[in-house]
Amino acid sequence: MPLWKDGKLGLPVKEAVKLFPELKDYLDERGRLDFSNRKARILYNRVIAKALFGLDIDYHPRGLVTPPISRYLFLKTFLKGGEKVLEIGTGHTAMMALMADKLFNCEVTATELDDEFFEYARRNIERNLAKVRLIKSNGGIIRGVVPEDERFDVIFSAPPYYERPTKGVLTEGEGVGGGKYGEAFSVKLIEEARDYLRPGGRVALFLPDKEPLIRAISERGSELGYSVRDVRFRAGTRWRHSLILGL
Ligand SMILES: C[S@@+](CC[C@H](N)C(=O)[O-])C[C@H]1O[C@@H](n2cnc3c(N)ncnc32)[C@H](O)[C@@H]1O
């Protein structure tokens, strides 16, 4: 596990400033970083990606500021290493696809719907000399996007999960999962995934601590014949869930 020198999975702001002096502009008089400032969050997360995971990531100025540590902890809940994996919606950073390739030695295919995010993802993959195969989604999730005869050990995603558009924070494609609890995107994903998994394969979803959302996806998963395991983990100040559905 990539740990900073103090033995913790994380990076003290003081150390981050040494690595990226630009961060100084966003510190208050007590040396605290202004996390309400998007540019500061992007810079800090870029330093973490670089210092802890060896990844050089360019963030889209208006995209979700994907935090590397939570994504790494999520991947650790279901990857052993060397699997053939598919990520749905890799985003502009392509962070999880890059980690799966570079840190878990997986054979990685990743999809993305948004044109600008796709282009950023492509460049992030190139910049890190990664072997990720990137596919542009046409609006579909798996079927019609990924070659019909491909089979994977794991299909994973940090899916959009809001019921309807939210103000400001995310683009609609990043945010809106649809359905009563935001579960519709994830439900469609697990329905389609059955046909693209190898025997014993799994789907893993990165989800927030929203009980009705998790229940809706889990119930549909059980109906579809998956075994369902909910792994809750702490990422910074928040609880996150890795919902793992096995065939
Ligand atoms: C919540 S964001 C997650 C981004 C990134 N994987 C992360 O971990 O932060 C969801 C991403 O899925 C993309 N997306 C939405 N619908 C999609 C679809 N049908 N196929 C592929 N990507 C999609 C969005 O553009 C967005 O980049």
**Distance (Å) from CA 118 to ligand 1 centroid:** 10
List of domains in the chain: 13-53 (no CATH), 68-246 (3.40.50.150)
Atom of ligand 1 nearest to the CA of 71: 8
Ligand 1 in contact with 111 (CB < 6 A)?
Answer: yes
pLDDT attached to residue 5: 58
Residue 111: predicted pLDDT? 98
Query: Which pLDDT value is given to residue 140?
Result: 97
Burial of 4 (0-12, 13-18, 19+ CB in 10 A): middle
User: Over the range 31-55, which residues count as b (16 or more CB within 10 Å of their CB) and which as e?
Assistant: eebeeeeeebbbbbbbbbbbbbbeb
Q: How far is the CA of 156 from the centre of ligand 1 (A)?
A: 11
46 close to ligand 1 (CB < 6 Angstrom): no
CA dist., res. 208 & res. 188, Å (int): 18
What pLDDT, on the 0 to 100 scale, is given for residue 235? 87
Closest CA to ligand 1's atom 13 = 89
Q: How many whole angstroms from 240 Cα to the centroid of ligand 1?
A: 17
Place of tokens 């519709």: 184
Q: What is the pLDDT of residue 60?
A: 96
pLDDT of res. 67: 94
Q: Is 67 in the pocket of ligand 1 (CB under 6 A)?
A: no
93 CA from centroid of ligand 1 (Å): 11
Q: By the 8 A CB rule, do 124 and 117 touch?
A: no
**How many whole angstroms separate alpha carbon 140 and alpha carbon 185?**
10
pLDDT tens across the length of the chain (247 residues) = 455 555 667 788 888 899 889 999 999 999 899 988 999 999 999 999 999 999 999 999 999 999 999 999 999 999 999 999 999 999 999 999 999 999 999 999 999 999 999 999 999 999 999 999 999 999 999 999 999 999 999 999 999 998 888 776 677 788 889 999 999 999 999 999 999 999 999 999 999 999 999 999 999 999 999 999 999 999 888 999 999 999 9
What pLDDT score was predicted for residue 77?
97
Ligand 1: centre distance to CA 110 (Å): 10
Residue minimizing CA distance to atom 9 of ligand 1: 66
134 lines ligand 1 (CB under 6 A): no
